Amino acid sequence: MNAGLVLSRIWKEIRRSRSITICGGILVFIAALAVLGPLISPHSYLTTDFDGRFIEPTLNNFHIFGTDDLGRDLFVRTLMGGQITLLVAVIASFVSLVIGVAYGAVAGYVGGHIDAIMMRAVDALYALPFIFLVILLMVVFERNFLLIFVAIGAINWLDMARIVRGQTISLKQREFVDAAKLIGVPAWRIIFRHITPNLLGVVIVYVTLTIPQAILVESFLSFLGLGVQEPQTSLGALVNGGVRQMEQAPWMLLIPAVLLAVVLLCFNFLGDGLRDVFDPRQEAK
């Protein structure tokens, strides 16, 4: 089949699917706001104002999301948190994608004993109490910002590897792979030039579904006080701070919590919608 035709069919379906357009639109809007919002606000995310603490959301002085317990503007902080949360989630998912695709494609393509050993290793890693190791990692490496991505990515690549392996095994039997083999293309080239591009659909769907998981793990780490460093913040950290103030300053909880929920919802719906497009049989796995 012509690749252009496939793409245009997929694009048409994406445009037809309401959940994809709506959720994708909301996410793009939130991402744009998170990046641009802090630029248009007169406030900085770290300036404290001890005479302007706990201001309710107001148009006055452009504190449209109010201020926190240190008088910092919550509009800017929420958007900053949104930026970091999205960044953490996307990079973490990217890490899991790279490791998972490479590992799964190699195991699936090579097959035989190597495949068996590689997949047993994945089974073994499944048994690691990962969340506990992540806590230990954060303790050992003093919450290096980069490490959060790596740690979360390292949790998620296992599923990706399994799915990619399955797909690779079925792709391996297709004629274009045989053709490539016949003309003497080396195995690594077949894996990365011929197999992986054909995995795109599955991978996109799966990555969209790992992003919300990564967001939740980050907020879990924030709850334990092991998340990003102040004065930087994430939605999880803001929500956690808001829980403490929920009775005297409900907006401190409400606004970031709603934003977090919307982001998670949209990624979940987006993943569902993409799955419908790429895999019309609507398989859960």
Partner 1 sequence: MSAGQRRTIRVAIILLACAFAAFIYLSATEPQGAAGTVLHRGNGPEPESLDPHKSRSIQAADVLRDIGEGLIGYSPDGELIAAAAEKWEISEDGRQYDFWLRPAARWSNGDTVLAEHFVFSFRRLVNPETAAFYAQALADIENAAEIIAGNKAIDGLAVEAPEKFHLRIRLRNATPYFLGLLTHPSAFPVHPASVGQYGDAFAKAGKLISNGAYKLDSWELGSVIHLSRNVYYWNNAGTAIDKVNHYVTPEPQVELNRYRAGELDITATVPPEAFAALRQGRPEELRVAAYLGVYYYGLNVTRAPFKDNPALRQALSMAIDREVLTEKIIGRGEQPAYSWVPPGVINYQAIRLPYADMTPAERHAGARRLYKESGYGENNPLEVEIRYNTSDTHQRIALAIQSMWRETLGFETTLINEEFQVLLANMRNREITQVFRSSWTGDYNDAHTFLQVLQGGNPSNMSGYVSEEYDSLMRRAAEQTDLSRRRLYLEEAERVLLADHPVIPIYFYVSKHLVKPRVRGWGDNVLDYHYSQHLSIAE
Partner 2 sequence: MLRFALLRLLWAIPTLLLVIVLAFLMVHAAPGGPFDAERALPPEIEANIARAYHLDEALPQQFARYLGGVLRGDFGPSYRYRDYSVSELIGNAIPVSMKLGALAMALAVLVGISLGTLAALRQNSALDRLMMGLAMTGISIPVFVIAPLFILFFAVKLQWLPASWSGSTSAWRLLLPVVALALPQIAYIARLTRASMIEVLGSDFIRTARAQGLGTAAIIRYHAMKPAMLPVLSYMGPAIAAILTGSVVVEEIFGIPGVGQFFVRGALNRDYTLVLGIVIFYAALVILLNLIVDVLYGFLDPRIRHR
Candidates 90-98, 125-133, 179-187, 201-209; binding stretch for partner 2 (CB under 8 A)? 125-133
| DSSP secondary structure code for residue 62 in this structure | G
Angle between helices 3-16 and 250-278 (to 10 degrees): 140
DSSP conformation letters of 82-132: HHHHHHHHHHHHHHHHHHHHHHHHHHHHH-HHHHHHHHHHHHHHHTS-HHH
Instruction: State the sign of the Cα–Cα–Cα–Cα dihedral 10, 16, 20, 26.
Output: positive
Q: Is residue 122 a contact partner of residue 158, using CB atoms and an 8 Å limit?
A: yes
| CB of residue 85 to partner 1, shortest distance in Å | 18
Tell whether residue 229 is a contact of partner 2 (CB under 8 A).
no
Q: Of these, 8, 18, 131, 225, which contacts partner 1 (CB under 8 A)?
A: 225
Residue 176 CA to residue 194 CA, distance in Å, equals: 8
* Residue among 33 and 135 whose Cβ is closer to partner 1: 135
Q: Of these, 19, 21, 41, 48, which contacts partner 1 (CB under 8 A)?
A: 48
- Binding residues for partner 2 restricted to 134-153, rule: CB under 8 A: 135-137, 139-140, 142
Tell whether residue 244 is a contact of partner 1 (CB under 8 A).
yes
| CB of residue 192 to partner 1, shortest distance in Å | 41
| CB of residue 246 to partner 1, shortest distance in Å | 9
| Residue labelled with tokens 């245009």 | 8
Q: Of these, 220, 231, 232, 278, which contacts partner 2 (CB under 8 A)?
A: 220
Tell whether residue 42 is a contact of partner 1 (CB under 8 A).
no
Distances (CA, A) of 49 to 37, 71, 72: 20, 4, 6
How many residues form the binding site for partner 2 (CB under 8 A)?
Answer: 43
Tell whether residue 145 is a contact of partner 1 (CB under 8 A).
no
* Residue among 36 and 116 whose Cβ is closer to partner 2: 116
* Residue among 55 and 101 whose Cβ is closer to partner 1: 55
- Binding residues for partner 2 restricted to 234-273, rule: CB under 8 A: 236, 239-240, 243, 246-247, 253, 257, 260-262, 264-265, 268-269
Q: Is the bond preceding 231 in cis, omega lying within 30 degrees of 0?
A: yes
Instruction: Report what 212 binds from partner 2, partner 1, none; CB cut-off 5-8 Å by kind.
Output: partner 2
Angle between helices 200-223 and 74-110 (to 10 degrees): 130
Tell whether residue 282 is a contact of partner 2 (CB under 8 A).
yes
Residue 78 CA to residue 179 CA, distance in Å, equals: 53
* Residue among 7 and 131 whose Cβ is closer to partner 2: 131
Residue 195 CA to residue 170 CA, distance in Å, equals: 10
Residue 270 CA to residue 284 CA, distance in Å, equals: 15
Tell whether residue 114 is a contact of partner 2 (CB under 8 A).
no
Residue 273 CA to residue 285 CA, distance in Å, equals: 14
Applying CB under 8 A, the residues found at the interface with partner 2 are 120, 123-124, 126-133, 135-137, 139-140, 142, 212, 216, 219-220, 223-224, 236, 239-240, 243, 246-247, 253, 257, 260-262, 264-265, 268-269, 281-285
